[in-house]
Chain A
Amino acid sequence: MAHHKTKILAMIGMLILMDGCSWFKKKGRGNQAAPRKPKSADIRSGDDGEPGLSHRANVRFKKIFLLRNDYARALQLPPNQLCVEAGKDCLENYNIVLGGVDANLMLYERIEKPVPTSPIAIERVALQACARRVDLDFGGGSPLIFTRIPASSTNFTDAHKDAVQRLYRNFLQRDPTDGDYAGHEKLLDSVSSMVSGNEIGKTWAKSACWMVATQLESVLY
């Protein structure tokens, strides 16, 4: 029960703290009355500049195969074990909403735009995949992304920074900006206020991973 409560608190915290993530901050600086659509140039910008819109802005969402491959390599997990539910690869359950085809259902053409359930599917996969990576990294073996993260520290250490850098390099093929680091530091503050003891490091790691994996820059291209 306590475990579930912690999870729920963490999820709420993540939603609140999305404001700390650079893309969401930028979006807020647009036209307040009518938020504009995210464009590729904005997504990439971080807090370092004030770029304008690309008038082309042909942004596409990553279909299931690309999402699977990118997540698998970013988290160094087998592609069919990112998300396992009832013993099965859960991505298959979301095949259509993630832009797959299914001849058995006579669905031969991919959806070109995400449907309302696409983000839910992406977030679900990302959360499970991140949790698997974190469990492995905190499980006593050789950690690949979250190395030497203090289990209970509330300070944003170099180990936290290194992990953030790995996440950005693996998911987004770029280094994090100062704004990105600041967002993840703020995330640690919030996590620290919601969980305690040895759960802090692990909860932050899952949240940080999920934030990078599900931000638009990661799921659109």
Chain B
Amino acid sequence: MAFRLAFTQARAAVMALYVVALMGVSQPALGNAANARSLCAAAPDAPGCGTGQAECATCHTGAPSLNPYGSCLKDAIGRAGSVDAAIKAVMRNDCDGDGASNFDEFVSGTAPGVADESQKSRPGDDRSCDARGAGSGYNLCGYDHDYAYKRVYQDFCGISPTFEAFQEFKELPLTDKEQRIASTVDACMKSNFWRGKGGILWDMAGVKVRPLSVIKAGDDGGEIPLADYYDDYNLYIYHHVDDADVRGVLTANYYVTRRDGAETSYTPTENVPLTTKKAGVLAVTGSFYNSTQQFVPKDKRAGVLSTSWAQNGLTMFASIPRSTAAHFYRVYLGLDISKNQGLVEPGSNFRLVDYDNKDVTRPACAACHRSLDALTYPFTKYNGLTFQILGRDINSAGGFVGGAVGGTVSLPPFLASIVQGGSSAFGGDLLLLGEYNENRMKILAKMNATTEPNLASTPSSGFILGRPVNSLPEWGRVAASSNEYARQIVHDYWRQLIGEEPNAETEDDFESLVENLKTKHNYRVRNLLLDLVTRDAYGAP
């Protein structure tokens, strides 16, 4: 009960913030998606405009406060009369006074609203790259194999090469150097440093999974075990190594188990056996599902989108799990709705309805919710932590989730006998934690008849990136095939291996890697990385 109360309070806090945000909307707002797109239309080559609209930080230090570029632009709008005209008018100005024009800053990938003192203080050096590199041991004119080899060792193997190995490499002919770099990448991608628990890919997966140890079930379980997100880590890593298709992260209709050892291995599996450690709430639903801990039928699975963690850990008590959909949209497609990104109009046939009584149809809200709600409907048959059985909401009837605290499940006696009887004893009104349920919205509508009376009509079809989808697996397939997904994968590795955003000099490399991932590399991350390390962006000092 206390557990649910905490979530209710959290939800109230979110609503309060929402109201505050809406109050802000009552003033004329220039920081919107249309203006952000206008900015990119005026400087189309600017890094950061890959998604079609500039980031909020281009003009704001934190909404509604403006940075020098935002102030500049605001003044210009007053004079020019339109946003488009104002953007062009200030393009050649240097709003932040750092010596580089706004246009130059857009093109070079620096912030036009943040003074970069190094732009002023950097001494000019008109010598050729050969002359500048002379005596440094580096080739400043382009790709430097020695530099790249050392870096590959550090990035993929987690350690610098030995002095002897480095000297030996430097003596190799060029073609051998290229082969050695590739074989080093290949070999180290098999290492635990790269693919093991706690390795590089593990940490990259963590950004997507957003683990929360206190509610973890299974190994390393927490105090309130709700789901075992190691299954999600495994799904992610399996599809990022060897010859796996990386689209499988969002489309797999199987799960993946991990075996730790000198070389960590990942194996696809139809079902994941219920953990014996801290099973928590998984034990209850698992008792209806042959002692497994993932409960979605094979034809309804969509990789990490439909795991117990996605449902119990992200959706939790939400009837229409907008935050779950927005989370996946953000972490896998790089589109953050809270930053006005990815607000793709679902089309004139889509009608936004306030199914859960959240006022989403108000004009100020609908601007985002037309996209967000359409994105979310395919998630609505995947239940979170709402537990309904035979007309009784067990969460509020007492103690179910609370009973899971400490890793043990203490079921009310009447429920224990039902669980022992198995699922065949029940008809419609049975809704288990973390399961797929065709009748979920109807059951929730009965439960929440006073607060969310229209829930039963909520559709399970929706839209993603402007395309209609009828189910979550279809949502996953459209997402996984999108340019946005490929961009995000390349971007994740780019940040991991290059450490900075693509800029004017490296933008072409970045874009060709995105294209190659989809075509030449057939969605194989291994091939993508072997390609990436040959690029100047990686290997030119």
Contact = CB atoms under 8 A, between A and B. Distances in A.
Interface of A: 30-31, 34, 36-37, 40-42, 44-45, 48-58, 60, 62, 65-66, 69-70, 73, 101, 103-104, 106, 108-110, 112, 169-170, 173-174, 221
B197 to A, nearest CB: 12
A221 B505 contact: no
Contact of B121 (A31, A66, A104, A221): A31
Given A30-B123, A112-B499, A103 B206 contact: yes
Interface of B is mostly: loop
A40 B138 contact: yes
A110 B166 CA distance: 28
B136 A65 contact: no
A48 B163 contact: no
B135 A49 contact: yes
B300 to A, nearest CB: 28
Interface of B: 118, 120-123, 125, 127, 131-138, 140, 150-151, 154, 158-163, 166, 193, 203, 206-207, 210-213, 495, 498-500, 505, 540-541
A173 B163 contact: yes
B123 to A, nearest CB: 5
Contacts of B210: 106, 108
Contacts of B206: 101, 103, 108
Contacts of A44: 136-138
A66 B159 contact: yes
Task: List the 5 closest A-B pairs by CB distance, nearest first.
Answer: A49-B135, A52-B132, A34-B121, A51-B136, A169-B163
A42 to B, nearest CB: 8
Contacts of A52: 125, 127, 131-133, 140
Contacts of A110: 203
Contacts of A57: 541
5 contacts: A40-B541, A41-B133, A57-B541, A66-B159, A73-B162
A101 B496 CA distance: 13
A11 B377 CA distance: 64
Given A41-B541, A112-B499, A173-B166, A36 B123 contact: yes
A129 to B, nearest CB: 15
B541 A56 contact: yes
A170 B125 contact: no
Contacts of B134: 49, 51
Interface centre among B136, B211, B213 (most CB of A within 10 A): B136
Given A49-B136, A54-B140, A69-B159, A108 B150 contact: no
Contacts of B163: 169-170, 173-174
B286 to A, nearest CB: 24
A65 B193 contact: yes
A73 B213 contact: no
Given A52-B125, A66-B159, 7 more contacts: A34-B120, A36-B118, A41-B138, A41-B140, A45-B135, A51-B140, A173-B163
B136 A103 contact: no
A162 to B, nearest CB: 14
Nearest to B135: A49
A36 B500 CA distance: 20
Contact of B154 (A41, A103, A221): A221
A65 B158 contact: yes
A53 B154 CA distance: 23
Contacts of A103: 206, 211-213
A109 B505 CA distance: 26
Contacts of B122: 36-37, 53
Contact of B123 (A31, A50, A104, A173): A31
A167 to B, nearest CB: 11
A100 B520 CA distance: 34
Given A41-B541, A104-B213, A70 B499 contact: no
A49 B131 CA distance: 10
B108 to A, nearest CB: 11
A45 B136 contact: yes
A206 B321 CA distance: 58
Interface centre among B118, B121, B140, B211 (most CB of A within 10 A): B140
Contacts of A55: 140
Contacts of B137: 44-45, 174
B244 to A, nearest CB: 23
B150 A173 contact: yes
A215 B343 CA distance: 47
A173 B125 CA distance: 29
A31 B124 CA distance: 10
Contacts of A58: 498-500
A173 B159 CA distance: 12
A170 B206 CA distance: 33
Nearest to A34: B121
Interface centre among B133, B211, B500 (most CB of A within 10 A): B133
Contacts of A48: 135
A51 B150 CA distance: 20
A169 B150 CA distance: 14
Nearest to B206: A108
B160 A70 contact: yes
A73 B159 contact: yes
Contacts of A69: 158-159
B133 to A, nearest CB: 6
B207 A66 contact: no
A30 B376 CA distance: 57
A66 B199 CA distance: 12
A42 B162 CA distance: 22
A103 B131 CA distance: 47
Contact of A37 (B118, B131, B203, B500): B118
